[in-house]
Chain A
């Protein structure tokens, strides 16, 4: 009973994703020219990017909390969220590259949206490098928290604003929110697409929580050993 009380949302997330895998690959999908069956990748590629954005937003939130209260756990949560976001960002890039290979004939094309996504990811990799370059714990946490605010803003400039301003992108949904704008998504796909977003976000949050607990435990053990 205790297990169900604590884990119902995780089980719910897994059931949603099982539905997304089955429905995404087996349900009817529109037969568009060039894209054809690869349109089903939208449930995975876009879902992973949404999860990444959600978890990076949580990283920003924890960084702001750290700067307000200076609690070490908030800094640990922020770095864990960034690492989880990078995992989902990498998965989003990989699923996007596979999709690009099938529709554009190349894993990577010189497109403002794709390049923006790569630079945005590098912005967050720089966050990890910054943390690694400072030894003093307090200084590291403060610097990282401030940088994280800039990184979040820059990330959205790179993936949302600059590609729209350049007007030269062939990536779908460049004029609105990909797959969310009216007319972007076939109604037949919505019954899988929206659960996919929810399922991937739940999975990202679960991964974040487990990873945070591992890092917190490791930190507490280190502190205990130092005190002995």
Chain B
């Protein structure tokens, strides 16, 4: 049998794991976004250079 206090501990652990999982996912997304934004900036500057060299 699980005691009421132990049940609360299990709930705390589950909620904490969900929160940590969400935070980890957000950090992962931000890292991916950093890379994607950097790549996009590079493409845009390359296109600008190309356009100015054509003109």
Q: Is A206 engaged at the interface, CB distance under 8 Å to the other chain?
A: yes
- Main SS class of interface, A: helix
Q: Nearest Cβ distance between residue B44 and chain A, in whole angstroms? A: 7
Q: Cβ of A213 and Cβ of B43 under 8 Å apart?
A: no
Find B16's partner among A18, A206, A207, A224 (CB 8 Å cutoff).
A18
Q: Is A217 engaged at the interface, CB distance under 8 Å to the other chain?
A: yes
Q: Cβ of B26 and Cβ of A224 under 8 Å apart?
A: no
Tell me the chain A residues, 154-174 only, with Cβ under 8 Å from chain B: none
Q: Cβ of A206 and Cβ of B26 under 8 Å apart?
A: yes
Q: Give the complex CA separation of A26 and B43 in angstroms.
A: 52
Q: Is A143 engaged at the interface, CB distance under 8 Å to the other chain?
A: no
Residues of B within 8 A of A149 (CB): none
Q: Give the complex CA separation of A22 and B11 in angstroms.
A: 9
Q: Cβ of A214 and Cβ of B23 under 8 Å apart?
A: no
Tell me the chain A residues, 190-228 only, with Cβ under 8 Å from chain B: 206-207, 210, 213-214, 217, 220-221, 224, 227
Find A210's partner among B16, B20, B29 (CB 8 Å cutoff).
B29
Given A14-B20, A26-B8, A224-B43, are A21 and B26 also a contact pair (CB < 8 Å)? no
B: contact size bracket: 20 to 34
Q: Cβ of A21 and Cβ of B15 under 8 Å apart?
A: yes
Q: Give the complex CA separation of A18 and B17 in angstroms.
A: 9
Q: Cβ of A220 and Cβ of B40 under 8 Å apart?
A: yes
Instruction: Specify the chain B residue showing the minimal Cβ separation from A209.
Output: B30
Find B37's partner among A14, A206, A210, A217 (CB 8 Å cutoff).
A217
Residues of A within 8 A of B40 (CB): 217, 220-221, 224
Given A14-B23, A217-B37, A224-B43, are A21 and B16 also a contact pair (CB < 8 Å)? yes
Given A21-B19, A220-B40, A224-B44, are A210 and B26 also a contact pair (CB < 8 Å)? yes
Q: Give the complex CA separation of A86 and B36 in angstroms.
A: 27
Instruction: Specify the chain B residue showing the minimal Cβ separation from A216.
Output: B37
- Residue-by-residue, is B24-35 near A (CB-CB < 8 Å gives 1, otherwise 0)? 001101100100
Residues of B within 8 A of A210 (CB): 26, 29-30, 33
Q: Cβ of A18 and Cβ of B19 under 8 Å apart?
A: yes
Find A14's partner among B15, B19, B30 (CB 8 Å cutoff).
B19
Q: Is A119 engaged at the interface, CB distance under 8 Å to the other chain?
A: no
Q: Cβ of A213 and Cβ of B8 under 8 Å apart?
A: no
Residues of A within 8 A of B9 (CB): 26
7 pairs of residues in contact across A and B, judged by CB atoms under 8 Å? A7-B27, A14-B20, A21-B12, A206-B26, A210-B29, A210-B30, A214-B29
